[in-house]
Amino acid sequence: MEFVNFISNLAMPAIILIIVLYGIIEKRRVFDDFLEGAKEGFSIVISILPTLIGLFVAIGALRSSGILDMIIKILTPLLSIIDFPTELMPLAMLRPISGSSSIAVATDIMSNYGVDTTLGMMASVIMGSTETTLYTIAIYTSCVKIKKTRFILLAALTADIVGILVSVAICRMFL
Protein backbone atom coordinates (compact mmCIF):
# COMPACT_ATOMS: atom_id res chain seq x y z
CA MET A 1 0.00 0.00 0.00
CA GLU A 2 2.89 2.34 0.70
CA PHE A 3 4.14 1.78 -2.85
CA VAL A 4 0.75 2.82 -4.28
CA ASN A 5 0.76 5.97 -2.12
CA PHE A 6 4.31 6.74 -3.26
CA ILE A 7 3.34 6.38 -6.94
CA SER A 8 0.18 8.46 -6.38
CA ASN A 9 2.15 11.28 -4.77
CA LEU A 10 4.74 11.15 -7.53
CA ALA A 11 2.30 11.08 -10.47
CA MET A 12 1.46 14.79 -10.88
CA PRO A 13 5.00 16.14 -10.43
CA ALA A 14 6.25 13.48 -12.87
CA ILE A 15 3.65 14.45 -15.49
CA ILE A 16 4.55 18.14 -15.15
CA LEU A 17 8.25 17.30 -15.45
CA ILE A 18 7.62 15.16 -18.55
CA ILE A 19 5.64 17.99 -20.19
CA VAL A 20 8.36 20.55 -19.45
CA LEU A 21 11.13 18.23 -20.68
CA TYR A 22 9.15 17.48 -23.85
CA GLY A 23 8.71 21.23 -24.41
CA ILE A 24 12.44 21.81 -23.98
CA ILE A 25 13.34 18.98 -26.35
CA GLU A 26 10.84 20.20 -28.97
CA LYS A 27 11.91 23.84 -28.39
CA ARG A 28 8.36 24.91 -27.51
CA ARG A 29 7.31 27.71 -25.20
CA VAL A 30 5.54 25.52 -22.65
CA PHE A 31 4.13 28.34 -20.55
CA ASP A 32 2.80 30.17 -23.63
CA ASP A 33 1.13 26.94 -24.77
CA PHE A 34 -0.34 26.58 -21.28
CA LEU A 35 -1.73 30.13 -21.39
CA GLU A 36 -3.28 29.50 -24.82
CA GLY A 37 -4.96 26.36 -23.51
CA ALA A 38 -6.22 28.20 -20.43
CA LYS A 39 -7.69 30.97 -22.60
CA GLU A 40 -9.43 28.40 -24.79
CA GLY A 41 -10.75 26.55 -21.73
CA PHE A 42 -12.09 29.79 -20.27
CA SER A 43 -13.93 30.65 -23.48
CA ILE A 44 -15.48 27.16 -23.52
CA VAL A 45 -16.67 27.60 -19.93
CA ILE A 46 -18.26 30.94 -20.83
CA SER A 47 -20.01 29.42 -23.84
CA ILE A 48 -21.52 26.50 -21.89
CA LEU A 49 -22.43 28.48 -18.76
CA PRO A 50 -26.08 29.07 -19.79
CA THR A 51 -26.50 25.32 -20.39
CA LEU A 52 -25.05 24.54 -16.97
CA ILE A 53 -27.29 27.05 -15.21
CA GLY A 54 -30.36 25.64 -16.96
CA LEU A 55 -29.41 22.08 -15.93
CA PHE A 56 -28.82 23.05 -12.31
CA VAL A 57 -32.16 24.87 -12.09
CA ALA A 58 -33.99 21.91 -13.67
CA ILE A 59 -32.32 19.44 -11.28
CA GLY A 60 -33.22 21.58 -8.27
CA ALA A 61 -36.83 21.82 -9.41
CA LEU A 62 -37.02 18.07 -10.03
CA ARG A 63 -35.62 17.17 -6.62
CA SER A 64 -37.81 19.59 -4.68
CA SER A 65 -41.05 18.92 -6.58
CA GLY A 66 -41.64 15.44 -5.21
CA ILE A 67 -42.13 14.00 -8.68
CA LEU A 68 -39.42 11.39 -8.05
CA ASP A 69 -41.42 9.89 -5.17
CA MET A 70 -44.55 9.86 -7.30
CA ILE A 71 -42.77 8.05 -10.16
CA ILE A 72 -41.35 5.48 -7.73
CA LYS A 73 -44.83 4.77 -6.34
CA ILE A 74 -46.19 4.30 -9.85
CA LEU A 75 -43.33 1.99 -10.88
CA THR A 76 -43.27 -0.13 -7.70
CA PRO A 77 -45.49 -2.95 -9.12
CA LEU A 78 -43.28 -3.27 -12.21
CA LEU A 79 -40.12 -3.12 -10.10
CA SER A 80 -41.32 -5.94 -7.87
CA ILE A 81 -41.97 -8.12 -10.95
CA ILE A 82 -38.39 -7.70 -12.20
CA ASP A 83 -36.98 -7.89 -8.64
CA PHE A 84 -35.46 -4.40 -8.77
CA PRO A 85 -34.98 -2.80 -5.33
CA THR A 86 -37.13 0.32 -4.99
CA GLU A 87 -34.44 1.83 -2.75
CA LEU A 88 -32.26 2.20 -5.85
CA MET A 89 -34.86 4.03 -7.94
CA PRO A 90 -33.87 7.56 -6.86
CA LEU A 91 -30.30 6.74 -7.88
CA ALA A 92 -31.42 5.17 -11.15
CA MET A 93 -33.56 8.20 -11.99
CA LEU A 94 -31.06 10.90 -10.98
CA ARG A 95 -27.88 9.30 -12.35
CA PRO A 96 -28.55 10.25 -16.00
CA ILE A 97 -29.37 13.80 -14.92
CA SER A 98 -26.86 14.86 -12.29
CA GLY A 99 -23.60 13.48 -11.01
CA SER A 100 -23.64 15.38 -7.73
CA SER A 101 -27.24 14.44 -6.98
CA SER A 102 -26.57 10.79 -7.76
CA ILE A 103 -23.48 10.81 -5.54
CA ALA A 104 -25.60 12.23 -2.73
CA VAL A 105 -28.24 9.53 -3.26
CA ALA A 106 -25.62 6.76 -3.46
CA THR A 107 -23.99 8.05 -0.26
CA ASP A 108 -27.38 8.09 1.42
CA ILE A 109 -28.05 4.49 0.32
CA MET A 110 -24.68 3.40 1.67
CA SER A 111 -25.08 5.23 4.97
CA ASN A 112 -28.58 3.81 5.51
CA TYR A 113 -27.96 0.23 4.37
CA GLY A 114 -24.19 -0.15 4.65
CA VAL A 115 -21.35 -0.14 2.18
CA ASP A 116 -20.91 -3.92 2.15
CA THR A 117 -24.60 -4.75 1.77
CA THR A 118 -26.18 -5.84 -1.47
CA LEU A 119 -27.85 -2.43 -1.90
CA GLY A 120 -24.58 -0.62 -1.20
CA MET A 121 -22.74 -2.75 -3.74
CA MET A 122 -25.52 -2.29 -6.31
CA ALA A 123 -25.38 1.49 -5.84
CA SER A 124 -21.61 1.43 -6.34
CA VAL A 125 -21.82 -0.66 -9.49
CA ILE A 126 -24.59 1.55 -10.89
CA MET A 127 -22.44 4.63 -10.26
CA GLY A 128 -19.54 3.03 -12.09
CA SER A 129 -21.47 1.64 -15.03
CA THR A 130 -23.63 4.63 -15.96
CA GLU A 131 -23.06 8.23 -16.97
CA THR A 132 -24.60 11.61 -16.27
CA THR A 133 -26.16 11.42 -19.70
CA LEU A 134 -28.12 14.67 -19.94
CA TYR A 135 -25.24 16.70 -18.54
CA THR A 136 -22.73 15.09 -20.89
CA ILE A 137 -24.93 15.49 -23.94
CA ALA A 138 -25.72 19.10 -23.06
CA ILE A 139 -22.08 20.04 -22.55
CA TYR A 140 -20.62 18.24 -25.56
CA THR A 141 -23.32 19.22 -28.02
CA SER A 142 -23.31 22.85 -26.89
CA CYS A 143 -19.53 22.99 -27.36
CA VAL A 144 -19.78 21.89 -30.98
CA LYS A 145 -23.10 23.65 -31.64
CA ILE A 146 -25.20 20.54 -32.35
CA LYS A 147 -28.91 21.27 -32.03
CA LYS A 148 -30.60 17.95 -32.94
CA THR A 149 -29.85 15.45 -30.16
CA ARG A 150 -32.93 13.25 -30.34
CA PHE A 151 -31.20 9.99 -31.31
CA ILE A 152 -28.18 10.69 -29.11
CA LEU A 153 -30.47 11.01 -26.10
CA LEU A 154 -32.39 7.82 -26.91
CA ALA A 155 -29.21 5.76 -27.37
CA ALA A 156 -27.56 7.16 -24.24
CA LEU A 157 -30.61 6.66 -22.02
CA THR A 158 -31.00 3.11 -23.36
CA ALA A 159 -27.38 2.45 -22.42
CA ASP A 160 -28.03 3.86 -18.93
CA ILE A 161 -31.09 1.66 -18.42
CA VAL A 162 -29.17 -1.41 -19.59
CA GLY A 163 -26.25 -0.46 -17.33
CA ILE A 164 -28.53 -0.10 -14.32
CA LEU A 165 -30.41 -3.36 -14.92
CA VAL A 166 -27.23 -5.34 -15.63
CA SER A 167 -25.58 -3.84 -12.53
CA VAL A 168 -28.41 -5.12 -10.36
CA ALA A 169 -28.43 -8.53 -12.07
CA ILE A 170 -24.68 -9.02 -11.75
CA CYS A 171 -24.72 -7.97 -8.09
CA ARG A 172 -27.53 -10.46 -7.45
CA MET A 173 -25.48 -13.20 -9.14
CA PHE A 174 -22.28 -12.58 -7.23
CA LEU A 175 -23.54 -11.38 -3.85
Contact 133, 157 (CB under 8 A): yes
pLDDT the model gives residue 137? 86
Q: How far is CA 64 from each of CA 86, 101, 127, rounded to the nearest angstrom?
A: 19, 12, 22
Specify the amino acid at residue 83.
D
pLDDT tens-digit map of 120-132 = 999 999 999 999 9
Alpha-carbon span 22 to 81, nearest angstrom = 59
Query: How confident is the model over 75-82, as a mean pLDDT?
Result: 92
Q: What is the pTM of this model?
A: 0.69
Q: How far from the centroid of its chain's Cα atoms is residue 121's Cα?
A: 17
Q: Is 94 exposed, middle or buried (0-12, 13-18, 19+ CB in 10 A)?
A: buried
pLDDT tens digit sequence for 14-48: 998 998 899 899 888 888 888 998 999 888 888 88
Residue 34 confidence (pLDDT): 87
- The candidate with the shortest Cα–Cα distance to 106, out of 135, 115, 66, is 115
Q: Pick the closest to residue 123 from 107, 134, 146, 99 (CA basis).
A: 107
Domain spans, the chain? 1-65, 66-175
Q: Are 139 and 99 in contact (CB under 8 A)?
A: no
Q: Who's near 29: CB < 8 A, 6+ residues apart?
A: 23
C-alpha 135/C-alpha 137 separation (Å) is 6
